Structure 1
Amino acid sequence: MKKIKLSILAMVSMLGGMFANAAQLPNDLEWISNADEPIFASENAQFGGTFRTYLQSFPQTFRIVGPDSNGSFRQWLLDSRPNLVRRHPITYKWIPELADEWAYGNDNKSIYFRLNPKAQWSDGKPITVDDFKYALQLMRSKDIIAPWYNNYYTEQVDSVSEIDKHTIVIKSVQPKNREDLMTTLYDIQPRPAHFYKPKVDKNNDGVDDNFVRLYNFKAEPSSGPYYVDKVKKGKSIRFKHVGKDWWGYSNKYYKNRYNVEKINIKVIRDQDIARKHFEKGDLDAFGLVMPSLWHDKSNSKPYQKGYINKFWGFNQLPQGSGGVWMNTAKPHLNDLNVRKGVAHAIDFDGMIEKVLRGDYMRKPNGLGVGHGEYTNNEIKADQFDPPLAAEYFSQAGFEQIGTDGIRVNSKGSRLSFAITYSATAHTPRVAYLKEQAKEAGLELTLNLVDGSSAFKYVLEKKHELSFHNMGTSYIPQYWEYFHSDNANKAQTNNFTNFSSPALDQLIMSYRIEFDVEKKRAISREIQQVVADANVIIPGYMVPYVREGYWRWLKVPNQPMTKLTEAMFDPIGISTFWIDENVKKETKSAMKKGKVFDAITIIDDTYKL
């Protein structure tokens, strides 16, 4: 009898130890699933086939964090992977992904998530609560050499705790309103703890001391439908679908999406060469956003004969920061008068009208638009005004004009800046800005840096002026762009190296403000401070997608959503599919000289 009592006591003690570190589930939680939002995929979709596309440069790493990871290839590794929840692309409501349900804690800091028990990695291992806990561990580690993530996952995310085998609670450091709280915590993606077992861990943080080198070209297992399957370094990358039994298809919002079985990505460094590959049938789709492509170069025989169709669809994506970023750490650009002069010497409006045929729209605000009341609509982009630019340049000491028409100061320094950009196709745009700037006595030298190397170049703050745009979230973020923690540091997004104590204070107040109306007001104030500093010259925005595609690619009857960034993107919203029968029919018709009707689909459902 005594032995039985001792066993029971031992069991109680053991269970107490097991749950000592587990969080408790409140009894008054209201669980949310938003299971009745509209479906945006097509029941007619077919699974299978290989989608062929290209990249202009081979990625510098397969890591999702750390040096060189913030390039264009990162989206291929992450965009098809589920978050805990995601905004519905039409209604903007949160819908389930890795989490089937969620509930907000009464402390205004916590969100509870019930995980889909079917979720697993592409290597067959189950996605566990430990993988979410490890995500926090990884992102806080100094070994990943990613200060932005170190900071965010320390100052914004307090903890990830286990409730039970399929339930977690994630807690924010600061109390936030529900919208802010979810925006802060929703995209904490799990990281496969079984994959990242460290061999060397002297600081005992669970992350290999040689993380950056060790995982540079070692892609982790995927939680999404696609994983890296085959790599020919410098030449090509192949993604493969997990299969029709991918766990995500148990979620109604994933059904009939991610329909292609394989994705072959070739490295084709020149866009014109890529276009020729496309028109020969070696690539399945090709972007035609650029006016010269849509108006002039999409009328060749494959289009005329109906083998290639055209698609133009409008979206309502929030527009991120960008245009021309001025690096205030470079000589003369720390002078406000110089920056004001440059702003009035850059003729974006003329470039849109004359080079881009009026197809694009000018951003009024360098920090983006489309964020509702977070956007300061009082801000207007500076207009091209060479005489006014000259006045500002003179106030900065550039009073003389050299024999070549470029201004110089008393020390003989010429008013000249290199403008960095990443695509040969953008050369006519930047060349136009260069010619127009001469009217104000400003010289712009063109600095074309290939593909992903260009982003590394500006991340390392080597640029003087940078011609690029950034993406954005539904609620704008400012810390990474303008807080002094990120100024004059490589591998951060403070491309302007601009900061000030007053701006720091506003940014931190914005981060922790609970009241939505006050937060929006602070956002507008931050945007005004940045506009007054003249560190970003607002560029252009493109509220649509335009693509050419071979007729075997099919789309839903309602192709676009508000958040569709590319119609034929296999890793984004991805609702298109390949009709293998139509592909055979088309190949046969091409051999026999048979033609089809030329088709252009225009979906203006979400045109503003």
Structure 2
Amino acid sequence: MKRTLLTTAILFPAVSWAVLPDNLEWITNNNEPLFASPEAKFGGTLRTSMPSFPQTFRTVGPDGNGAFRVWLLDKQPQLLQRHPDTLNYIPDIATHWAFGDDNKTIYLKLNPKAKWSDGEPLKASDFSYMLQFYRSKDIIDPWYNTYYRTQIDRIDALDEHTIEVVFAKELDNEALLYFTHRLKPRAEHFLKPKTDKNNDGVDDNFVRRFNFKPEPTLGAYHVGKVRKGKSITMQHVGEDWWGYTNRYYQNRYNVEKVSIKIIRDEDIAFKHFEKGNLDVYSLGRPELWYDKSQSKPFKNGYIHRFWGYNQMEVGAGGFWLNTDKPMLDDINIRKGIAHALNVEGLNEKIFRGDFSRKPNGLGVGLGAFTNKELSPLPFEPEAAIKYFELAGFDRIAADGIRVNKDNQRLSFAVTYSQQVVTPQLAYLKEQAKAAGLELTMNLVDGSSAFKFALEKKHEISYHSMGTAPRPQYWEYFHSANAGKPQNNNFTNYSTPELDELIMQFRSVFSSKEKERLSREIQRQVHDATVIVPGVMSPYIRAGYWRWMKYPANPMQKKTEALFTIGRMDDFGTYWIDQEVKKATQKAVQQGQSFEPVTVMDTRYKP
């Protein structure tokens, strides 16, 4: 059987499972290089922060797609992982996998040591329940309902530690692996309903009952102490966590607790960091890296700086134009806005040239799924004016803003979530005046801003989304989500042509054909000018107190963060050296200093 992956093939003898096909070719892969350090030490509490408290601890349903779900679901163990450097598939919850001969079925052997964080063993039936859960109307989440009803036929538990996943359509082996490996079970014992009139295994009042009732996890951390609106502590399961039976998890997730404090103002959070009240802090913003990191704690060597390059996929985002709002349904207005936003100048003047512009609003770095022929409309006020005039805005008010014959102003509110973004938008606002466009700034606190966009209340929303190695388009541009709240169609844009392409993209057998369709979808969305691309950076920058340690080769191709800074975007390869911490704190008290340190990891620099 042909394979496109670097794997170790093992031919198991016939087993006693009656429903398993004979002579399955079981595959595993324990040969990839390790990326954690054997020098790592277990223990201690990492102190970090985030700007807002989550709207819910649910990961589905209303407000379930917030930033904190990274802790609760996105970065939790799944059936298989992809090695962060070689990108080959490696064991996670599953130890082995095998393909059926119908181009629809994949079999997986689960790690028998796997346990939920509440001590209950993982059951193969938790994957069957996952499918039942996502199909239930009680979760009030149309995306999950649609995807798991249309894309997966069934998931069967064949015994305590073996599952069969059968897809609704034929897929090549590469696609079978991709769509299977990211599946994460749901804890049936925890989600057992109190009332279930629909007889679907899900509580009729799921959304309300589990709003702030976090589920057990399979990961190293689970939600511990919560002070609503103030802090969340993520508690390690312990050194006997089942994941450590997997070689790829060894020497990772080394701190016993992660204390996440809610600090709404980034400047105040940085002051806490300088005082040693936080262990790590993102220095991604240029003013932090170039200016504020010149303070005494840095110069005295108490705080170190890190700059490391990666090769991450970049998700959709920038300026999302809501076509359900007045004027934004006119493509001439949208093209005018695109030409009036001086994103190139923003990078040079505000970001000091450290970033680069996204070539299109649907993301990059997805290999052949990315349409590399696309480029953003440049800042050209003259071109913007021509489009605005075509839309009827051919007059100029006393303050320089364009108006139409009905005296309607060419003015839009830009919604954003953090105060630190204000200078960026202030620059764009001034530049847009050259084309007669008025931008007003609508700062909405943290997670509430994302809720605002989910509810489709924005005119223009300035935010970016994460992505997987393969893009998803149904949630962003299918008509089933246009004009409806609580989904990711932030532009409310759809067309019959896009609908057809998106459904073909979801159903085709060949990965090559899927790549072609992806490029065409990106072209049509680009031509519609409903997302104005923002900026991106192929690196991470962080500050950390000198007691924070990490491997000799800190960066992998897919390293999103070196440390846990508010979000669990890292691989947990860092640890705390308690002896160094004591020595550093003593040095601070006595006024002693160390050599300042800046670490650069350029192995993956473009």
> Map of 1:93-132 to 2, 5 A cutoff?
93-132=88-127
Q: What is the 5 A alignment of 1:410-559?
A: 410-559=405-554
Picking from 11, 26, 32, the partner of 2:27 is 32
Query: Percent identity among equivalent residues?
Result: 59
Compared with structure 1, are the counterparts of its residues 354 and 302 closer, same or farther at alpha carbon in structure 2 (3 Å cutoff)?
same
Q: Among residues 226, 231, 238, which one is paired with 1:236 in the alignment?
A: 231
Shift of 1:134: 1.1
- Pick from 574, 578, 581: which aligns with 2:579? 581
Task: Verify: 1:367 aligned to 2:366, yes or no.
Answer: no
Q: Against the structure 1 CA distance between its residues 54 and 208, is the aligned structure 2 distance closer, same or farther, given a 3 Å change threshold?
A: same
- 2:510 and 2:204 map into 1 onto residues whose CA distance is 41
Task: State the Cα distance separating 1:113 from its structure 2 match.
Answer: 0.6
**RMSD across aligned C-alpha pairs, in angstroms?**
1.2
1:19-39 alpha-carbon deviations (Å, 9 max, x no partner)? 9xx982112322111110010
Q: Call closer, same or farther: CA 1:41–1:363 in 2, change over 3 Å.
A: same
Query: Is this contact kept in 1: 2:125–2:156, CA < 8 A?
Result: no
- Partners of 1:396 and 1:23 lie apart in 2 by 68
Q: TM-score, normalised to structure 1's length?
A: 0.95
Q: Classify the secondary structure of the residue corresponding to 1:584.
A: helix
- Counterpart Cα distance in 1 of 2:358 and 2:409: 30
**Equivalent-residue separation in structure 2 for 1:516 and 1:145 (angstroms):** 31
Distance in 1, Cα, partners of 2:498 & 2:176: 23
Assess if the C-alpha contact under 8 Å between 2:48 and 2:564 holds in 1: no
Between structure 1 and structure 2, the one with the greater Rg is 1
5 Å-filtered alignment, 1:247-258, equals 247-258=242-253
Map of 2:593 onto structure 1: 595
For 1:522 and 1:62, how far apart are their aligned partners in 2?
A: 36
Q: What runs of 5+ residues in structure 2 fail to find an aligned partner?
A: 1-15
1:12 corresponds to: none
Is 2:346–2:427's contact at 8 Å kept on the other side of the alignment? yes
**1:595 is aligned with what amino acid?**
S
Q: Which letter maps to 2:589?
A: K
Alpha-carbon distance in 2 for matches of 1:141, 1:505: 26
Distance 1:23 1:304 in 2: 68
The whole-number CA distance in structure 2 between the counterparts of 1:185 and 1:412 is 55
- Confirm whether residue 147 of structure 1 aligns to residue 145 of structure 2: no
Whole-angstrom CA distance in 2 between matches of 1:429 and 1:80: 30
Name the amino acid aligned to 2:599. Answer: I
Structure 1 counterpart of 2:330, which letter?
Answer: D
- Match of 2:290? 295
Equivalent residue for 1:312?
Answer: 307
**Equivalent pair of 1:310/1:601 in contact (CA under 8 Å):** yes
Q: Secondary structure of 1:298's partner?
A: helix
TM-fit CA distance, 1:317: 0.3
Match of 1:234, SS?
Answer: coil
Q: Which stretch shifts more, 103-112 or 307-316?
A: 103-112
Name the SS for the 1:332 alignment partner. Answer: coil
Asked if the contact 1:23–1:161 (Cα under 8 Å) also holds between the matched residues in 2, the reply is no
Maintained 8 Å contact 2:93/2:111:
yes
2:172 partner letter? N
Letter in 2 for 1:440: A
Secondary structure of the residue aligned to 2:420 is helix
* 1:423-473 Cα distance to aligned partner (Å, 9 max, x none): 110111111111111111111000111100000000000000111111111
Instruction: Read off the aligned partner of 1:104 and give its amino acid letter.
Output: F
Within the alignment, does 1:89 sit opposite 2:84 as a pair?
yes
Provide the secondary structure at the position in 2 that maps to 1:183. helix
Q: How does 1:41-190 map to 2 (within 5 A)?
A: 41-190=36-185
Distance between the aligned counterparts of 1:111 and 1:430, measured in 2? 49
CA contact (8 A) 2:498 2:521 kept: yes
1:401 and 1:545 map into 2 onto residues whose CA distance is 44
Cα distance, 1:79 vs. partner? 4.2
Q: Which runs of 5+ in 1 are unaligned?
A: 1-18
Amino acid in structure 2 at the alignment position of 1:587? Q
3-state SS, counterpart of residue 234 of structure 2: strand
Deviates more, 1:509-518 or 1:337-346: 509-518
What amino acid maps onto 2:78 in structure 1?
N
Shift of 1:186: 1.8
TM-aligned CA deviation for residue 185 of structure 1: 2.1
Does the 8 Å CA contact 2:41/2:576 hold for their aligned counterparts?
Answer: yes
Residues 1:192 and 2:190 aligned together? no
1:334 maps to amino acid: D
Q: Which stretch shows the higher mean deviation, 95-104 or 174-183? A: 174-183
The answer (yes or no) to whether the contact 1:418–1:447 under 8 Å persists in 2 is yes
Count of aligned pairs between the two proteins: 588
Distance 1:200 1:23 in 2: 36
Which amino acid is the alignment partner of residue 43 of structure 2? Answer: G
* Aligned partner letter, 1:274: A
TM-score, length of structure 2 as denominator length: 0.96
Contact 1:157/1:185, CA 8 A, preserved across alignment: no
Counterpart secondary structure, 1:297: helix
Q: Which amino acid aligns with 2:288?
A: L
